[in-house]
A and B are shown apart, each in its own frame.
Chain A
Amino acid sequence: EGQLVESGGRLVQPGGSLRLSCEASGFSFSNYWMNWVRQAPGGGLEWVSRIGSDGSSAVYADSVKGRFTTSRDNTKNTLYLQMDSLRGDDSGVYYCTRGLYFASGSYSYWGQGTLVTVSS
């Protein structure tokens, strides 16, 4: 059964940078589009980014466009989220997700999440 494990979340100052990682196991990582979804403290879910199976295409929510970069290393079964110019409203739990099937937008696999706190 598939598993996703995020890491890299921590306290960072406004304007700072952070890189999150998501290690996948139990499925053919290189066949699937992958996504980042975040949840502000006490808030709802917000889709952040999606990347194609070969890493050739990535799309972003307007709220992070130009500041966040998603990439993947299919040799390491790992998804990344490079977060620059961080702001307070970027704080929250960041989840790595996989679709039900290769390019599906319904997310059947979620990691446990990693907490990012942007504060001085």
Chain B
Amino acid sequence: EVVLTQSPGTLSLSPGERATLSCRASQNVINNYLAWYQQRPGQAPRLLIYSTSSRAAGIPDRFSGRGSGTDFTLTISRLEPEDFAVYYCQQYGASPFTFGPGSKVNIK
């Protein structure tokens, strides 16, 4: 099973600042099939990024993903108030598809 580790666990930033979230896999993610989700309190997760760097429909271009192999990054270029949430990475290159533990972006 591919184990995903996310860092930092919590990030405290102000609106307008840049957020950089990391996701590290215990082994290479096949085909770089790595996705990122955002979850706001009381809501279902929302797909932001798939295949490491492709934005899902309707996702603003302030969200970007990059990486390969075992190291992946989600960047939010300028935080908007609605971006303060929990972010999960997920690999879907090998079964079972696994999620990271999440990174919480707090308002500073």
Asked if B50 and A110 make an inter-chain contact with CB atoms under 8 angstroms apart, the answer reads no
Stretch at the interface among B16-24, B75-83, B93-101: B93-101
Number of interface residues of A (CB under 8 A): 19
A50 to B92, CA, bound (A): 12
Number of interface residues of B (CB under 8 A): 23
Q: Which of B33, B44, B45 contacts A105 (CB 8 A)?
A: B33
- Min CB distance A44 to B, Å, is 5
Residues in A whose Cβ lies below 8 Å from that of B99:
44-47
- Min CB distance B87 to A, Å, is 11
A50 to B94, CA, bound (A): 13
Within 8 A of A (CB), among B24-51: 33, 35, 37, 44-47, 50-51
Q: B-side interface residues toward A, CB under 8 Å?
A: 33, 35, 37, 44-47, 50-51, 56-57, 88, 90, 92-93, 95-102
Number of interchain pairs (Cβ within 8 Å) = 56
Q: A-side interface residues toward B, CB under 8 Å?
A: 44-47, 50, 59, 61-62, 95, 100, 104-108, 110-113
A61 to B96, CA, bound (A): 7
Residues in A whose Cβ lies below 8 Å from that of B102:
44-45
Residues in B whose Cβ lies below 8 Å from that of A47:
96-99
Residues in B whose Cβ lies below 8 Å from that of A62:
96
